[in-house]
Amino acid sequence: MREITLSQAVNEAIAEEMRRDETVFLMGEDVAEAGTPFKITSGLVEEFGTSRVIDTPISEPGFVGLAVGAAMTGTRPLVDLMFGDFLFLVMDQLCNQAAKTHYMSGGKLKVPMVLRTNLGATRRSAAQHSQSLHALVAHIPGLRVALPSSAYEAKGLLKTAIRDDNPVVIFEDKLMYQDKAPVPEEEYLLPFGQANILREGRDVTLIGTSSMVQVCLKAAGLLEAQGISAEVIDPRTIVPLDEATILDSVRKTSRAVVVDEGHRSYGVTAEIAARISEKAFYHLDAPVLRFGAMDVPVPFSPALEDLTVATPDQVAEAAARLCRGEMFHAA
């Protein structure tokens, strides 16, 4: 199969959906001629014109607000939010307005909009351009949250997001924009709420999201060398969360490590670990371990930044200790 970059995959997804449905339009800062600073949307304005590929002023709350209103009235906006860190600017429009409109109207109004943004540190972009803030939106009912972990996933999940009748926030890993993966020429969609088992295993389940899926796969490789068989699961969407697939796996392996790039505390790993600990309680041979970004603002200095994100070594070591039955936190 041909291989394309994540960035190309996203571009294709947008183009295909805009061709299919002329109510879909794209808006954001420098999405037209410039194709975004990440060069993701290049070529779209040439095909679809400036009325459907709209450069906005630097008004994040404003254009997300416009998207909510447009979505309520017959079009399907796809909004480009240049950095995930700017989510903080648009939370009111996203969480007080978009997320609640369908419910507050008793089901009469719909908000079929997509907010595309990104996550991921280690790009030396410091504390305001490196955050992974998906846990925040996952906490708000009414939003769906997708976390693609490869070019293939990015295309399939984005196409599903655009067709979804609810507000969807999709986070791409900005470190992965140039990473290639096999992506079919034919059209495909990836369902929401269906986790992907990337690797089957017997001894421990590694649950990784977005950027951390590769970390888990590498950790699984390291574990294999030690004779430990790790299953790797990518939830794909954290809202809805495919609890069943995760629980089935943990009931089989009896051990789990959850890895996500959001801050560790009050983040995504807590929810997944808490659900496993509760619902697979009688199957667990060891505590569920969690890796998130360190609970510090992301530092600029490479010497510090690299310490803040989980590595395959750390994940493998923790998983190996679980499997060796080493007592964690025993009083």
Partner 1 sequence: MAKAKTNTDDYLRMYRQMVRIRAFEDQANQLYLSAKMPGLTHMYSGQEAVAVGICEALTPQDHITSTHRGHGHCVAKGAEFKPMFCELLGKAEGYCRGKGGSMHIADQSNGNLGANAIVGGSMGIATGAALSHKMLGDGQVTVCFFGDGATAQGLWYEVMNMAALWKLPVIYACENNGYSEYTRTEEIAAGSITARAEAFGIESFSIDGQDVLAVNRLAQDLVARCRKGEGPFFIELKTYRYHGHHVGDINRDYYRSKEEEAEWKKSRDPITGFGTWLQSEGIVSSDDLVAINDEVRADAEAAVKYALDSAYPDGSEVDMHVYSDTEHALA
Taking the least distance from each CB to a copy of itself, the nearer of 139 and 218 is: 139
Tell me: does residue 60 bind ligand TPP (CB under 6 A). Answer: yes
Tokens of 127: 């504390």
262 binds, among partner 1, a copy of itself, ligand TPP, none (CB under 5 to 8 A by kind): a copy of itself
> CA-to-CA distance for 318 and 290, rounded, in angstroms?
9
Residue 52 binding: pick among partner 1, a copy of itself, ligand TPP, none (C-beta 5-8 Å cut-off by kind): partner 1
Helices (H) and strands (E) in the chain, counts: 12, 14
Residues belonging to the active site: 60, 129
Residues 6+ apart with CB under 8 A from 275: 241, 243, 246, 247
237 binding a copy of itself? (CB under 8 A) = no
Q: How many residues bind partner 1 (CB under 8 A)?
A: 74
From the CB of 221, what's the least distance to partner 1, in Å? 26
One residue of 303, 327, 330, 331 binding partner 1 per CB under 8 A: 303
Residue 121 beta carbon to ligand TPP: minimum distance, rounded to whole angstroms: 16
> Applying CB under 8 A, does 77 fall inside the site for partner 1?
yes
- Rounded least distance, CB 235 to ligand TPP, Å: 29
The residue among 29 and 173 lying less far from ligand TPP, judged by its C-beta, is 29
Choose which of 7, 11, 41, 93 interacts with partner 1 (CB under 8 A): 93
Radius of gyration, CA atoms only, the chain: 20
Say how far apart CA 258 and CA 194 lie, in whole Å: 17
Which residue, among 319, 109, 326, 65, has the nearest Cα to 208 in the 3D structure?
319
The H-or-E segment that residue 224 falls in is helix 211-225
Paired residues of 77 in beta bridges: 25
Instruction: Work out whether the CA dihedral 274, 278, 283, 286 comes out positive or negative.
Output: positive
| Per CB under 6 A, 82 contacts ligand TPP | yes
Report how far apart, in Å, the C-alpha atoms of 10 and of each of 98, 152, 208, 321 are: 23, 9, 21, 39
Q: Which amino acid is at 311?
A: T
Smallest distance, partner 1 to C-beta of residue 72, A = 6
Hey, which residues between 122 and 141 contact a copy of itself (CB under 8 A)? 126-128, 135-136, 138-141
Q: Mask of contacts with a copy of itself, 94-113, x by CB under 8 A? A: xxx--xx--xx---------
State yes or no: residue 208 binds a copy of itself (CB under 8 A): no
Bridge pairing between strands 3-5 and 180-182: antiparallel
Candidates 32-40, 70-78, 180-188, 274-282 — which segment interacts with a copy of itself by CB under 8 A? 274-282
Candidates 283, 312, 320; CA nearest to 208 is 312
Stretch that binds a copy of itself, among 10-18, 80-88, 155-163, 193-201 (CB under 8 A): 80-88
Angle between helices 151-163 and 6-20 (to 10 degrees): 30
Instruction: By CB under 8 A, name the binding residues for a copy of itself.
Output: 85-89, 91-92, 94-96, 99-100, 103-104, 126-128, 135-136, 138-142, 238-239, 241, 251, 262-263, 265-271, 273-274, 277-284, 286-290, 295-297, 299-300, 327-331
